[in-house]
Chain A
Amino acid sequence: MNLDARGRRATQAVLRSVTRVDPVAGLAELLRRRRRRRITRAATALATATMLGLVVWVGVRGSERVMPVSNPPPGALGRVAATIPVGTSPVDVLVSQDAVWVANAGQGTVSRIDPATNTVTQTIQVGRNPVRLAAGFGSIWVANQTEQTLSRIDARSGQPRATIPTPTLAPNQLAVGAGSVWALAGYSLLRIDPATNKVTRVGADWELVDGGLTVAGGRVWLSGRAYPGVQPIVRVNPATNRKADTVPTDADGALAAGGGSVWHASSVTRSIHRLDPKSGRTLAEIPVEVVAKHLTAGDGSLWVGSDSGRVTRIDMATNQVTGTFQVGGRAPAVTTGLGSVWIVDTAHAALLRVQPTA
């Protein structure tokens, strides 16, 4: 008997072995586990809060002084110059070609905003659930996660130029560099040739989810988690479309390149790691006290959008937090350009134009 025949027979045997399994009983057990997990979480949160309270109480009594706050108070980043209503569930923003672009995940559109008037001048229909934007090659690129496509919009006219399928894979990260557009979809890295819109799937012998993607130091960087936790950064060589090496890290989140460094968010330590783009060595770890979801480099600063709605500015020259800003909703995307900071207010379906303090 050849291997395939034997494999088929063994598969049939294992499928027969579960004939007594009762999905309904399993469902009841699943509900029980959900309840148990909720109780465990609540107990863990209570224990953590008690421990923290104890630590703070001991610290205050021991030192007779209040612990310093490392983050400036909310609002220290700048003042709101304009509030611009956009589409439903805005999730990403970028500045390109003298315009500001916002991806509205809830209605499958991209808003184009004229910075001279602070108004939406175009609403462009893209695919379902657009979650990421990138600019390059005279185009705005949109990752439509649910539709499993990329939309390409002409950055000058705002007209859709192409819809590029990413077969069976849901793209959720985008980056531009090394002459290509790169998308992270499932575990796979996709490379899009801007001349032909052809998609090439780059070998994926890694398992990374919910992380980041950027291009720096002649490499494409991928980060994320896999069961059971944080995984090393994977660096892909664009010349060969193969994994070049991995970088050990205890960070797991978003990536950004700028100021001669790569920036990597850690949900574990609630900090930002500054990495050398060549060696991958950690140059600094900057505590931000939030779980960072979006990183953007610009105007000599790193801008961090976090799960709690706080936007944090880190001065690249000093690695210090120099300003924070609080918005409604979670994980606000943030970018800079045209003399302003642009922050997505997810709770109010609006884009905030913030005039940064010097």
Chain B
Amino acid sequence: MQTPRSARRTARAALDGKPEAVRLLGRFEYFYVEEYPRVVALAYALSGSRAGAEDIAQEAFLRAYRDWDRVGSYEHQAAWVRRVAANLATSWLRRRLVEARALTRLARRWEPTVEPLAGGDAQFWMAVRALPRRQAQVVALYYFQDLSVQQTATALGCAEGTVKAHLAKARRTLARQLQPEPPEDR
């Protein structure tokens, strides 16, 4: 994987000479290169689709780009994109579209760049995806924001109390559903 700095350089080079890309250069480009992999990861966690995760992330960034005059002025641009990605990833209709597109790509022997999860980690996210939509978003963002209720609330544009309430319900469900893992071999 490229470092953010080298990716930025490559992005500039790749976009050189493309008139429609010129306007992308600047703050959006930096923001995009820094945040893209993380948003793909969030989309994968919440949608469960390796093939569709990039699709969802691109859609979220496309919306940010389209509205960059407004979104670019926000203090929490990353939070905005994560919220859009979380909404897209947990939307039933969106999932169907993503799956259809992914099937078309797979038919062309296209290989997703997202690696599959295994074992307990896959089981954890599967249980999260089975939660009600809002709870799943709260749990995913909570762990992606390093267990910060305040940042999760900012990302979702809701009160911290709402996040705590969703988190408490989700924790109860997850505790019931997730089997204790066998101790690791040493």
Which stretch (A134-142, A198-206, A278-286, A315-323) binds chain B? Answer: A198-206
A129 within 8 A of B: yes
Specify which of A6, A8, A168 is in contact with B75 (CB 8 Å cutoff): A168
Is there an interface contact between B44 and A17, defined as CB atoms closer than 8 Å?
yes
Q: Mark A175-194, 1 if CB is under 8 A from B, else 0.
A: 00000000001111000000
Chain B residues within an 8 Å CB radius of A19: 1, 37, 115
Please count how many residues in chain B sit with their CB below 8 Å of the partner chain's CB atoms: 67
Query: Is B103 close to A, CB under 8 A?
Result: no
With both beta carbons as reference points, the residue of chain A lying nearest to B183 in the complex is identified as A1
Segment 1-16 of A: residues with Cβ below 8 Å from B: 1, 3-4, 6-11, 13-16
Q: Contacts A15-B38, A227-B94 given: A31-B21 contact, CB under 8 Å?
A: yes
Which of B29, B113, B142, B147 sits near A22, CB closer than 8 Å? B113
B15 at the interface (CB under 8 A from A): yes
Contact A33 B54 (CB under 8 A): no
User: A207 — nearest CB in chain B belongs to which residue?
Assistant: B87
How far is A8 from B14 in the complex, measured between Cα atoms in Å? 35
A28-51 residues at the B interface, CB under 8 angstroms: 28-31, 33-35, 37
* Contact pick for A21, options B10, B37, B61, B125, CB 8 Å: B37
- When chains A and B are docked, how far (Å) is the Cα of A1 from the Cα of B120? 11
Q: Is the CB of B117 within 8 A of A17?
A: yes
| Chain B positions within 8 Å of A11 at CB level | 45, 143-144
Given A6-B178, A24-B2, A28-B14: A148 in contact with B75 (beta carbons within 8 A) = yes
A228 at the interface (CB under 8 A from B): yes
User: A8 — which chain B residues lie within 8 A by C-beta?
Assistant: 143, 147
The answer to whether B181 touches A187 (Cβ under 8 A) is no
The distance in angstroms between the C-alpha atoms of A331 and B151, with both chains bound, is 34
Cβ A23 vs Cβ B41 within 8 A: no
- CB–CB A6/B157 < 8 A: no
Closest-by-CB residue of B relative to A38 is B20
For the complex formed, measure the closest distance between the CB of B173 and the CB atoms of chain A, giving whole angstroms: 11
Determine if A146 is an interface residue (Cβ-Cβ < 8 Å): yes
Interface 1/0 per residue, B95-130 and A, CB below 8 Å: 000000000000000000111110011001100000
CB of A27 closer than 8 Å to a CB of B: yes
Interface residues of B in 1-48 (CB under 8 A from A): 1-2, 7, 10-11, 14-15, 18, 20-21, 24, 29, 32-33, 36-38, 40-41, 44-45
Query: Chain B contacts of A272 at CB under 8 A?
Result: none
Contact yes or no, A205 B14, CB < 8 A: no
Contacts of B37 in A (CB 8 A): 15, 18-19, 21, 23
Q: What distance in Å separates the Cβ of A313 from its nearest Cβ neighbour in chain B? A: 30
Q: Which residues of B, 125-184, contact A by the 8 Å Cβ criterion?
A: 125, 134, 139, 142-144, 147, 154, 156-159, 161-162, 171, 174-175, 178, 180-181
Asked whether, in the complex, the Cβ of A204 is within 8 Å of the Cβ of B75, the reply is no
Smallest beta-carbon distance B3→chain A, Å:
11
B21, B32, B115: the one within 8 Å of A23 (CB): B32
Segment 28-81 of B: residues with Cβ below 8 Å from A? 29, 32-33, 36-38, 40-41, 44-45, 53-54, 57-59, 61-62, 65, 73-76
Nearest A-chain residue to B171, judged by Cβ: A3
Residue A169 at the B interface, CB < 8 A? yes
Interface residue from B36, B59, B76, B178 paired with A168 (Cβ < 8 Å): B76
Taking the nearest CB of chain A, how far is it from the CB of B44, in angstroms? 6
Pick the most buried of A17, A22, A146: most chain B CB atoms within 10 A of its CB.
A17
Q: Is there contact, CB below 8 Å, between A187 and B156?
A: yes
- Distance in angstroms between the alpha carbons of A14 and B161 in the assembled complex: 27
Verify if A226 is at the interface (C-beta below 8 Å from B): yes
Whether B91 contacts A227 by the Cβ 8 Å rule is: yes
A25 to chain B, nearest CB (A): 8
Question: In the bound complex, do residue A26 and residue B36 qualify as a contact, i.e. CB atoms below 8 Å apart?
Answer: yes
Q: Which A residues lie within 8 Å of B174 (CB)? A: 3
Provide the residues of chain B in CB contact with A3, threshold 8 Å: 171, 174-175, 178
Measured between alpha carbons, how far is A11 from B148 in the docked complex, in Å?
14
> Which of A146, A202, A226, A227 is most buried by chain B, counting CB atoms within 10 A of its CB?
A227
16 contacts between A and B (CB under 8 A): A6-B178, A17-B114, A17-B115, A21-B36, A21-B113, A23-B7, A26-B40, A33-B59, A34-B62, A128-B73, A186-B158, A187-B156, A188-B157, A203-B161, A205-B162, A227-B88
Question: What are the 9 tightest A-B residue pairs by CB atom distance, in nearest-first order?
Answer: A186-B157, A13-B121, A10-B124, A187-B157, A23-B36, A17-B115, A10-B121, A11-B143, A204-B158
| Sample of 16 further A-B pairs with CB below 8 A, known A21-B1, A23-B37 | A1-B180, A6-B124, A6-B181, A8-B147, A9-B121, A14-B45, A17-B41, A18-B40, A18-B113, A21-B40, A23-B32, A31-B18, A148-B75, A170-B74, A227-B91, A227-B94
